[in-house]
Structure 1
């Protein structure tokens, strides 16, 4: 009767693919229900039950603290060599607990100490089962998915999870708003009850059923010699490299979770946002997570998980400290746009962190002995993520009646003008402290060693040149190495700023490519490309505080993305290059940027895009030269001056491809237009 729980000695390729699909779909159901029992929903539910900051912190700490249950899970898996028989019952019981959690308002008075205490207790019980499922399925996945495909597998699974969280979370928030607007006084809290209980009926039952239909590969036989349980558990800690990973996981998750669990509380209380707005920002973050997780997955397979984790973690720190400036000292006109930017970058950063932490643990584990390594890694994560919210909650309550303020003032005979420059109170202190601790934690990550890892700078370049068809929009952007240019010399010293600028470059070139790809291919193609590329540049510039030093990068990114998009148009590709260059130059001519750098960047981006797409660089260079001559009068330059600046950038790009390419591109320009 329970034969479906037994592992299979052999699996066909069809069974492997089908099992991977079942595990991905299980992630979808898990993400859907998780969206109703975490983040903004759980924060709003807890506040409605009467929770304070410390209790919110305890709620956030329960899932990671429960990772200690991985200890018996590890021992059971190593002894009995089965994972499915542990995962399926544990997952069913863990999901079942959402039913009584949602029923609390029907059974106890709210708000009240008994109600919030009951929810904390029920979530603690759920924490007894969830780690059993996680430990078993992570080890199971390690044997089901080839090592070289782990990054792509987890990126696709995380994308499904996040997609489900977006749809269910956004729909649930509007249901809460509708219910609270129409419910009788005192019944508003039942909206959360209906969502949790209904979510369990739809998703909580489906998840365990999907896992039960996946096949489990037979684990390799245990070592013949009998080893004590303590020896099995301590084996990973004898590995110096794994100890470095464990130390990083503890400290990073402590710093991160001092701040992140309180983002929703901060928006609901300090900023006074409604739940749909809070969930809307969460959805924005999740959408950027989905859009970028495949980028991180492919990049991790090429450059190493540690390198991607370094990029994502530094970007996350920039996001955390950015929350300090969302009030001044209360909500002000920049709060909404700043929160939007922070949530976009938070989604990008979270995608990289979630993906690579688990993958790193898998890579450090020897084949056939992954379970104790994964278990200890999970416990290290749980220790940091469990203590961080509790300490953070206590500090938030402590700082809620304290403030630190810096004001700027100007005195004159006409009076005194005062401007509040910085105000820290309550959660602001958490964000600042978490940022400082996170900076210290990055030093621990630097000591970790991963086989085949590439440098951070190389990874920034690799992100924009992934050689797979589905990532072509990414490869249409110049390497992130541009953030090392002199114009970024000061900005990049801020932790995470180089990654943030790189993400903006990626978005700019992707948008340029999409704009060109959607342009009409018939009559009027040139005018359409000019208009769309110009529009993309204008939208990008609006999000930048200072464009004066970035003319070269903007022109380079936009032109290069357009060349990629036009590479499939055959004979019209040169027309696209010419039109894109005209649109770029005309748009940037209206901005306070260097005309020389703009022209040079246009030439550089055009030739580099041609090299990457297999087009003839000299033909593309000639097309861009015509564009420069056409626009020269509008720029206040002679045709020769414009052509010379374009030639300089084009030849610089061509020089990286060798002497033959450089000679061909040089021949496309009159001798007076380029350097000798």
Structure 2
């Protein structure tokens, strides 16, 4: 069978879905939540809904059984998810700005999108030839990343130009339209007559693996630490630092661009020295990055935020890549669905607990502001410090998971530099051409300077 039509449609559908999904991320969703008068506790939950929604993937076998096939199950869940997004601009238009209306809409959107993604992955796995999986998804992810960069700036430009009230109404309308287009395109997918999803107790099948149980402990705590503070980074930028959406979109543009480059580099390095090495280095660096926000204020953001965007793009590309590949490496090939479902449930549970804890702490910390040696520190920044410390604990939990690890990242770089330095000493003839060329350039410059000085002296003599 020829599935090239579905492959082409998936590129357009991915971009259309991303145009809606991007509104539920980062500073955009924070600004949208402010339009619905969201409190710190509700904002904490809204910010991690995509993570919490993973818990519902354990119900995908039941929906598959009810619907009868993958495509019908995918369209049922996609219809509920995509159409639920259309009520958000309607609420704004009718001035129904209640935080619980937004929360319920986004929970439905996230929960059923999670189920949709499960069936979509299953269908695409049978449509794309195994030899072309990497190339196909690499190109698709590249196009979606590029669309994210353009859309993020476009949405931010509209909000800054029209003002928060009209701007968010327009971008929410565009997002709702894109969500509907995505659902219609999913209806054009082919569905190969194959695949029976796993049945029975998925937890008992996955939890027999001791290494996987350690990885689950790490995943639960890691997602707890991410949800603890992540919704409030954008809050601090918008409310306390009063940064424009266009400026924040440029920072996002930088981070996405850096991530796109390092996805490729991390992938090659992880295959050589082990995916756990890259994951440990990235998470360890991310813990310092979160702690750095304790010093993020009106006087320091101009140089700290660009550093955060660049370094964040580097480390988060490593984290997003290697945590997925570590899971693939740990999963038993005969029970992959069970491993993924249990991992998703554990990650979602950790995110939910983190969001509830972070929301409670933020509502308390946000009530005060300090000044130490003339440097303003907002209460919410201590939550970032707590997030950094807890990320370092996650790093220790990850080290307990034993997978292939040839050498750590720092040792790899030091050994590489050491080898290169010894090579330069022991084999100087390899660099003879370079050294000779440098000498020639230096001699030319010296001659030119001496000639110019002689000409000046001649002028004075005359």
Would you say 1:357 and 2:323 are equivalent positions?
yes
Would you say 1:170 and 2:153 are equivalent positions?
yes
Name the residue aligned to 1:233.
Answer: 203
Name the residue aligned to 1:260.
Answer: 230
The correspondence of residues 448-459 of structure 1 with structure 2, limited to 5 A, is: 448-450=401-403, 452-457=404-409
Counterparts of 2:268 and 2:95 in 1: how far apart (Å)? 49
Among 609, 616, 622, which residue is 2:433 paired with?
622
Among 84, 93, 96, which residue is 2:83 paired with?
96
Q: Which segment drifts farther, 396-405 or 167-176?
A: 396-405
Counterparts of 1:380 and 1:394 in 2: how far apart (Å)? 22
The structure with the greater share of residues assigned to helix is: 2
Would you say 1:311 and 2:311 are equivalent positions?
no
Name the residue aligned to 1:437.
Answer: 390
Deviation at 1:326, TM superposition (A): 1.7
Deviation at 1:24, TM superposition (A): 4.8
Question: How many residue pairs were aligned?
Answer: 446
Q: Are residues 220 and 363 of structure 1, via their aligned partners in 2, closer, same or farther at CA, if it must alter by over 3 Å?
A: farther
Name the residue aligned to 1:41.
Answer: 28
Would you say 1:397 and 2:208 are equivalent positions?
no
Counterparts of 1:52 and 1:388 in 2: how far apart (Å)? 16
Q: Are residues 361 and 29 of structure 1, via their aligned partners in 2, closer, same or farther at CA, if it must alter by over 3 Å?
A: farther
Deviation at 1:377, TM superposition (A): 1.1
Q: Are residues 67 and 630 of structure 1, via their aligned partners in 2, closer, same or farther at CA, if it must alter by over 3 Å?
A: closer
Deviation at 1:303, TM superposition (A): 4.0
Aligned to 2:333, the other structure's residue is in SS state coil
Counterparts of 1:337 and 1:33 in 2: how far apart (Å)? 31
Deviation at 1:362, TM superposition (A): 3.0
The answer to whether the 8 A contact 2:291-2:384 is kept is yes
Q: What do you get for the CA RMSD once the two structures are aligned?
A: 3.5
Would you say 1:383 and 2:349 are equivalent positions?
yes
Q: Are residues 619 and 67 of structure 1, via their aligned partners in 2, closer, same or farther at CA, if it must alter by over 3 Å?
A: closer
Among 421, 427, 433, which residue is 2:380 paired with?
427
Cα-to-partner distance string for 1:109-139 (whole Å, 9 max, x where unaligned): 54xxxx2221111112223311211222344
The correspondence of residues 110-121 of structure 1 with structure 2, limited to 5 A, is: 110=97, 115-121=98-104
Q: Are residues 434 and 217 of structure 1, via their aligned partners in 2, closer, same or farther at CA, if it must alter by over 3 Å?
A: farther
Deviation at 1:143, TM superposition (A): 5.5
Higher RCO, 1 vs 2 (CA within 8 Å, ≥6 residues apart) = 2
Would you say 1:250 and 2:203 are equivalent positions?
no
Among 201, 206, 215, which residue is 2:177 paired with?
201
Counterparts of 2:366 and 2:111 in 1: how far apart (Å)? 33
Name the residue aligned to 2:456.
Answer: none
The answer to whether the 8 A contact 1:303-1:454 is kept is yes
Q: Are residues 316 and 141 of structure 1, via their aligned partners in 2, closer, same or farther at CA, if it must alter by over 3 Å?
A: farther
TM-score after normalising by structure 2: 0.84
Name the residue aligned to 1:559.
Answer: none
The answer to whether the 8 A contact 1:258-1:434 is kept is yes
Name the residue aligned to 1:270.
Answer: 240
Counterparts of 1:457 and 1:81 in 2: how far apart (Å)? 48
Would you say 1:335 and 2:322 are equivalent positions?
no
Counterparts of 2:232 and 2:91 in 1: how far apart (Å)? 23
Name the residue aligned to 2:414.
Answer: 481
Counterparts of 1:299 and 1:81 in 2: how far apart (Å)? 43
Counterparts of 2:402 and 2:248 in 1: how far apart (Å)? 39
Among 279, 294, 319, which residue is 2:264 paired with?
294
Would you say 1:128 and 2:111 are equivalent positions?
yes
Name the residue aligned to 2:254.
Answer: 284
Q: Are residues 257 and 370 of structure 1, via their aligned partners in 2, closer, same or farther at CA, if it must alter by over 3 Å?
A: same
Counterparts of 1:132 and 1:58 in 2: how far apart (Å)? 19
Aligned to 2:42, the other structure's residue is in SS state helix
Instruction: Give the unaligned 5+ runs of structure 1.
Output: 1-10, 181-187, 408-418, 462-479, 486-552, 557-599, 608-616, 636-676
The answer to whether the 8 A contact 1:266-1:427 is kept is yes
Counterparts of 2:215 and 2:68 in 1: how far apart (Å)? 26
The answer to whether the 8 A contact 1:156-1:294 is kept is no
Structure with bigger gyration radius: 1
Deviation at 1:201, TM superposition (A): 1.8
The answer to whether the 8 A contact 1:154-1:355 is kept is no
Q: Are residues 366 and 454 of structure 1, via their aligned partners in 2, closer, same or farther at CA, if it must alter by over 3 Å?
A: same
The answer to whether the 8 A contact 2:30-2:47 is kept is no
Counterparts of 2:303 and 2:352 in 1: how far apart (Å)? 31
